[in-house]
Amino acid sequence: MKKRLIVIMMIAALLLSLIGCASGDSQATGEKQKVVLGIWDENQKEALQIVVDQFNAQSETVEASIELTPWSNYWTKLDAAANAGEAPDVFWMNVYMPKYVAGNVLLPLDEYIKKDSLDMSAYVPAVKTMYNYEDQQWAIPKGMDSVVVVYNKAIFDKYDVAYPEEGWTWDEMKVIAAELKEKMTAADSGEYPILMELDAQPSHFNFIYQMGGEVISSDYTKSGYNKPETVAAYQNVVDLLDEELLAPYTVLSETKGTDLFLSQKGAIVFAGSWKAKVFEESSIGTEGNIGMVTMPKQADSNATVIGGLGYSIYKNTEHPDAAWELVKYLTGEEGNKIQAEHGIDIPALTSAQHYYKSNFTKIDPQVYFDAVASSVPFPAGPDLTVWFGPVNDNAARIFAGEISAEEGCNNIYVEMQKIIDED
């Protein structure tokens, strides 16, 4: 009887050992749980690899690796991998987030945030809000971007025109631009007072919110293109074009506004913080001739549409706890410090933003942080990838003078609302 009991105990111990090995439990096997981080930017990979290596060195239970997929294929690959149950455990997310919530791809993070008492107020509010949808948090903010006005001091000095000052208005910008235009025309210089990118984030989306309009309602159910304030925002750009204060659409459609600015063909450009390194390292920057100021105030505010990446966790990951440990490190003080010191992103974690500033000696990145005070989250929704096309197409027709601001905005409203309602 005693021998029989010993045999049973030995078999039970063996079974427990086998179960531990089969489950992949890191404590049972002594092996770390492996998680994969999906990103799309080659320029950020080197700094992120340092972060991941440091995480791996201090973690006793998790080993992370990076999977780089170029932007051109990132979302297609993510969709296919998620459908096949093989998406990375952690991956970059942007304003497309509602689509992936609707597709049941993302793991809600609220329980993890609560369990570890993660202070979400430590992140830039607009970016945190961007990743909160249907009262749940679907990503922890990585970085942030904002839009400001960049100006060429040398051009202002050449024409003896006063620099823009903090707190300026749209009307004051037009007065400055008119003075520049008069002197540029007299000199037959071929320069332009104002330049802008035709993309929505560094230009017309900002103007909409500055006028008190909106692109889409906060619950993503109503297009804001039927609002008179939204129409007025586009009309204000048309007025700049008609008064020849803004470079012609034909010029801006052939060469990006920032490239024209760097070629010293314009005095002012609306530009996003993602161009910071470009300005710092440009000949204008090297010569100390880059000035920066927050956006001019229109009827309602000087709002900037703010964006930024976040880290999401795949809902079907085999190692959700391990994935969360990686996300916490990437978005914590140490992970942000390394990324900021390499200048790859402005941290959304406000306590780490000062590390980013040390990358610059020719421009003052403080303006990017000042702009956050009046920021609004990038307008999105589950159907963003569908209705963004009609927005861009009709905005281009408005700026090209093919249709009026009112007609173009009405076209957008009808097409956009139909897309939203059919979802």
CATH code where residue 269 lies? 3.40.190.10
Note whether 294 and 313 are same-domain residues. Answer: no
Give the CA count within 13 Å in the CB-facing half-sphere of 347.
Answer: 25
Note whether 410 and 301 are same-domain residues. Answer: yes
Provide the pLDDT for residue 344: 82
Q: How confident is the model at residue 27 (pLDDT cuts 50, 70, 90)?
A: very low
Note whether 156 and 282 are same-domain residues. Answer: yes
Residue 366 lies in a domain: no
Note whether 339 and 194 are same-domain residues. Answer: no
Note whether 295 and 402 are same-domain residues. Answer: yes
Note whether 74 and 63 are same-domain residues. Answer: yes
Q: How confident is the model at residue 132 (pLDDT cuts 50, 70, 90)?
A: very high
Tens of pLDDT, residue by residue over 208-235, are 999 999 999 999 999 999 999 999 999 9
Residue 348 lies in a domain: yes
Sequence letter at residue 269: V
Per-residue burial over 388-423, b = 16 or more CB atoms within 10 Å of its CB, e = otherwise: bebbeebbebbbeeeeebeebbbbbbebbbebbeee
Note whether 167 and 285 are same-domain residues. Answer: yes
Note whether 113 and 178 are same-domain residues. Answer: no
Note whether 200 and 221 are same-domain residues. Answer: yes
Note whether 277 and 199 are same-domain residues. Answer: yes
Note whether 140 and 126 are same-domain residues. Answer: yes
Residue 374 lies in a domain: no
Burial (CB < 10 A; 0-12, 13-18, 19+), residue 121, is exposed
Q: How confident is the model at residue 3 (pLDDT cuts 50, 70, 90)?
A: very low
Provide the pLDDT for residue 1: 42
Q: How confident is the model at residue 29 (pLDDT cuts 50, 70, 90)?
A: low
pTM here? 0.86
Residue 263 lies in a domain: yes
Most confident range, picked from 126-130, 164-168, 341-345 = 164-168
Closest by Cα among 256, 294, 289, 326 to 148: 294
Instruction: Assess whether pLDDT exceeds 70 at residue 26.
Output: no
What average pLDDT does the segment 390-417 reach? Answer: 98
Domain range for residue 326?
31-145+308-357
The two three-digit tokens of residue 302, written as one number:
């000087």
Tens of pLDDT, residue by residue over 254-297, are 999 999 999 999 999 999 999 999 999 999 999 999 999 999 99
Note whether 181 and 69 are same-domain residues. Answer: no
Provide the pLDDT for residue 30: 66
Total domain count, the chain: 2
| Residue 159, φ and ψ in degrees, nearest 5 | -100, 10
Residue 13 lies in a domain: no
Provide the pLDDT for residue 305: 95
How far is it, in rounded angstroms, from Cα 330 to Cα 338? 10
